[in-house]
A and B are shown apart, each in its own frame.
Chain A
Amino acid sequence: MNANDSLERGIADVYEREAPPRAPDWVLVSILDAIDETPQRRGLIPAPWRFRPMNTFAKAVIAAVAVIAIGAVGLSVLSPRNPSNVGSAPSTAPSAGPSPSPAPSTPPSPDPSAPPPLSSFFMSTMHGISLRYPAGWQVSKATKVWTGGALNLPSPDIDYIYDPTLYGDLFLAVASQPLAGKTGDTWVTDFISDPQSDCFTDSESITVNGAKGSLCGTVAAISVADRGYFIRLYTSNDRSWLGDHYDQAWFKGLLETVHLRPSDAVDGPGSPSASQSS
């Protein structure tokens, strides 16, 4: 055996030892949640019918059945060395929460629990951005491109991620648009200085996913490539205790999960139907 063989065998051994045998259950559940909200691109195959979105229970059942079926038939998808790479069914599906309601029927809790972990995943195919958000929150996806202007919510041009128990009082809003001839710095400055951004404090420079921007309270504006993004955390003054938990430090933690994908935006350079796969 020469040195190359020894080194290559060593690499393989290290990989075998380090590779996690399973992804956490919530990863699959989160993916299934995300695809419910994600339309498919128009492709080569005409869709003769449409399937209704699944509820969370159905997802858990399907995931369980899928795992069992795969184990039973030995379907070793992507597993040239380790055919039994699929574990048991997800057991920790995030709570579905009630349907959005314009007016919560329960009074606000004076002593809310700490924010849920950022374990849910959202990828915006409209605005070209992904991020993690608190478990149990729900998503209202944008259906139109955002051309700026009013940030009134809910709005069809803004991705809206909210706590279903505090509808309208606690949410994240996300959108992006082309810079349209502006420099990135100018776009960010213009956005932050716009009264509609609700920025009434000093702003600070931030870097989100390698892109520069500005943070004012819990409103972030970032530019990357030829696109400007805003991400906003809103907490209602009517429930002042929300701001104690969902403060700027919490928001900065959420910003660390953001990935900016300008080419994925609907009106970005890599717009839907432009890509073709093998």
Chain B
Amino acid sequence: MQAELVDRARRGDREAFSVLAAGAVDRLHAIARLVLRDTELAQDATQEALVRAWRDLPTLRDVDRFDAWLYRLIVRSCADIGRHRRRWRAEVTILPVDPAEPDSTADLADRDLIERGLRRLTVPQQTILVLTFYVGLTPTEAADALEIPVGTAKSRLHYAIEALRVAIAADERTPVGAPREGRTA
């Protein structure tokens, strides 16, 4: 059914595309919201991705790859929007983790720590985490959405998790009442 809709839409059928857009908009919006961590920017990214989907649909070779292609488009839109946004930004340095040292993230009952840590990651780091842990893509699928080699995707995921771990550890060491983030815009 979806393949038929995609085929009709790429031939210019707006009604078919409306059905596809209605089925995808919530999911794309959720992804954009998690990546950009901003509701209005997420709405913009969702709109851009789906309007681009309509515009570029005739160039889609394989109708069965429509879903994967939409992931590419939302990732691109988030990257474009995230590149220029003036938001809280992280200045996170990847520090080597001493395996002999007890891992302060071993018990992560406090989800707020993770949530605060996520806010300090860059858009590319957020993106690989969202694709992996929210959408549930495999490294190969995530690499396809990000348009990067699989090895690069795996590496980016590794460093994103490490960056989050460092951000959480730094947050735990911050005294109560002290500023947690720095505005760089």
Contact = CB atoms under 8 A, between A and B. Distances in A.
A86 interface: yes
B180 interface: no
B98 interface: no
B87 interface: no
B165 interface: yes
A243 interface: no
Contact of B54 (A4, A40, A44): A40
B58 A40 contact: yes
B24 interface: yes
Interface string B41-69: 01110111011101111111110010111
B100 interface: no
B21 A78 contact: no
Given A3-B105, A43-B59, A125-B55, A12 B27 contact: no
A44 B59 CA distance: 6
A34 interface: yes
B21 A28 contact: yes
11 contacts: A11-B114, A19-B34, A20-B30, A27-B29, A34-B54, A47-B11, A51-B12, A63-B22, A121-B44, A123-B52, A257-B44
A34 B30 contact: no
Contacts of A19: 30, 33-34, 134
Interface in B154-170: 161, 164-165
A90 to B, nearest CB: 9
B18 A59 contact: yes
B105 A259 contact: no
B29 A278 contact: no
Given A15-B34, A24-B43, A27-B29, A10 B14 contact: no
Contacts of B172: none
Most A CB within 10 A of own CB, among B68, B129, B133: B133
In the A-B complex, the 10 residue pairs with the smallest Cβ-Cβ separation, listed nearest first, are: A43-B58, A210-B84, A23-B29, A66-B22, A77-B23, A15-B134, A66-B19, A78-B27, A19-B30, A43-B59
B171 to A, nearest CB: 14
Interface stretch (A68-76, A102-110, A176-184, A234-242): A68-76
Contacts of A30: 47
Contacts of B84: 209-210, 259
Given A3-B106, A30-B47, A77-B2, 10 more contacts: A3-B103, A13-B111, A23-B43, A24-B43, A27-B25, A27-B46, A45-B10, A54-B14, A66-B19, A85-B30
Interface string A113-133: 000000001010100001010
Most A CB within 10 A of own CB, among B11, B42, B135, B165: B11
B1 interface: yes
Given A44-B61, A278-B62, A66 B23 contact: yes
A39 interface: yes
B47 A31 contact: yes
A38 B55 contact: yes
A73 B1 contact: yes
Given A15-B134, A66-B23, A78-B71, A259 B48 contact: yes
A19 B108 CA distance: 20
A150 interface: no
A200 interface: no
B75 interface: no
Contact of A12 (B43, B60, B72, B133): B133
Contacts of A41: 55-56, 58-59
Given A7-B114, A48-B11, A32 B21 contact: yes
A35 B15 CA distance: 11
A254 B12 CA distance: 31
A257 B84 CA distance: 12
Contacts of A98: none
A53 interface: yes
